[in-house]
Amino acid sequence: MQRHNAGRLSLQRPPFIFYNVAAMSAGTVRDPKQYPVLRNLQYSPIKQGEDSYIVLWDPSGLSQEKLVLPLNYFFIIQHFDGRHSLTDILSLYLKRFGEFLLPAKIERLVRELDEKLFLEGARAEAALARAIDAYRQAPCRKPTFAGRGYEADGTKLSRQIEGFFSSQEGPGGKPSAHAGKPIKGLVTPTYDLKQAGPIYAWAYKELREAVQPALYIILGAASAGSMTSPFAATDKDFETPLGLVQTDRAVLSRLRDRLPDSFQEDLCHQAEPAIEFQLPFLQEVVGREKAFTIVPILCSFSALEMADHELRQGVKAFLDGLQEILCEDGRPFCIIAAGELAHLGLRYGDKEPPTDFSFHRSMQRDLEMLKLVEELKADEFANFIVKEEDRRRISGFAPIYSLLRLIQAEKGEVLRYDRGITDQFNSTVTYVSMAFF
């Protein structure tokens, strides 16, 4: 089941990503050099002095390159959708900017993008095949964000994690009102630990003081935009600077037998931070006392996409299958939904940067939405976002919705809400920590 948004910035899937796919009739073959197709890429506006640029990169990790483009060249690549020829684009450029662009310049841009693996085509397909083979041959999933999102040295990482609990923004030492109860689930951020670590700590303090299971189902929001199915599981163990986190072979073996298609996009795990960012907390909070295993699953669908019957049935089939497997297994488990909430500002497709007023209005909407999550109302949570037409781009919808469909809890509780500023234009991401008992 493939789902694409062609030729525009998606507001329904992970934000600030191009979904450019050739919209051609069946059997039509066009020269990719004349009808280039941009891969699913992320971009962000930057300012250098008085000049504005766009920086472009590949969130899937297939390409490690970055490209800084002036705004007129950004206009050009927005038409790399397989429907516009280079001649068409040159004509559009002339109408937009009132100047003629030499064909050699746009041809050189196409070559550079292709060399950087930014375009669909044979070069990118070959690189993808090599990456899939390398991932599946590797003994474990290596840490991708160590040294960037958190400390790469194990000793320093342990101190960093513990520091999040005692920091001014962290939960401190006051005992939880739920201490000693069996914990059923958490909602956590996926934002850079160096900035949002204290917010994670609010959720993991509840886990630290609860009756801890040994099995953790981690549902991570897929932000790289490379998934075409709603779920992607992997049975690779995860390495962190604190050691190896083992996946649960019993549950994952049953999942592979029952839903083999959910493992087809396992490579997506290598570039995604959502699950990786949870593991140092689990290792410090649970792993020091007992052995534990994880079931890592990436989720990629929006509330608006749930209107599609085929997708909705696919989501239901996966969640029903996973729920049956967990019931058959019989062990207590905790579900962790890792994802962010609203995405506001130029970086995410808004025409203007957020103001204090627009942020506070969004915060009120977030908290109203999270009340439905506290009350375990999955359909109402989805409908809330649909009524907004997902204008605030709730990228954590899929893992939170999946948690609500799977969890066996009495209620949830919002513990801490915050935001991160992602660029010099005040683009903003909001996130929350929650616990379920």
Q: Domain ranges for the chain, please list them.
A: 8-131, 144-436
232-272 tens-digit pLDDT:
999 999 999 999 999 999 999 999 999 999 999 999 999 99
How many other C-beta atoms can be found within 10 angstroms of the C-beta atom of residue 67? 20
High-pLDDT (> 70) share of the chain, %: 93
137-183 tens-digit pLDDT:
999 999 999 999 999 999 999 999 999 999 999 999 999 999 999 99
Alpha-carbon gap, residue 110 to 400, rounded angstroms:
39
Q: Calculate the average pLDDT of the chain.
A: 92
Q: Which amino acid is at 398?
A: A
For residue 369, the model assigns a pLDDT of: 98
The sign of the CA dihedral 167, 168, 172, 177 is: negative
For residue 7, the model assigns a pLDDT of: 27
Per-residue pLDDT averaged across 206-212, rounded?
A: 97
Task: Using alpha carbons, list the distances in angstroms from residue 67 to 10, 145, 379.
Answer: 20, 21, 41
For residue 419, the model assigns a pLDDT of: 97
Quote helix, strand, coil % in the chain, to nearest 5: 40, 20, 40
Which pTM value belongs to this model? Answer: 0.89
pLDDT at 22 over 60: no
For residue 28, the model assigns a pLDDT of: 59
Residue 12 confidence class, pLDDT cut points 50, 70, 90: very low
315-367 tens-digit pLDDT:
999 999 999 999 999 999 999 999 999 999 999 989 999 999 999 999 999 99
Alpha-carbon gap, residue 175 to 4, rounded angstroms:
47
Tell the CATH topology of 144-436: Protocatechuate 4,5-dioxygenase; Chain B (3.40.830)
55-100 tens-digit pLDDT:
999 999 999 999 999 999 999 999 999 999 999 999 999 999 999 9
Residues forming a β-bridge with 188: 338
Residue 29 confidence class, pLDDT cut points 50, 70, 90: low
Per-residue pLDDT averaged across 32-42, rounded?
A: 92
For residue 225, the model assigns a pLDDT of: 72
Q: For 144-207, give the DSSP string.
A: SSBTTTB-SSHHHHHHHHHHHHHSTTS--SPPPTTTTSBP-EEEE--S-HHHHHHHHHHHHHHH
Q: Which of 173, 165, 174 is nearest to 199 (CA)?
A: 165
SS3 97: helix
For residue 48, the model assigns a pLDDT of: 85
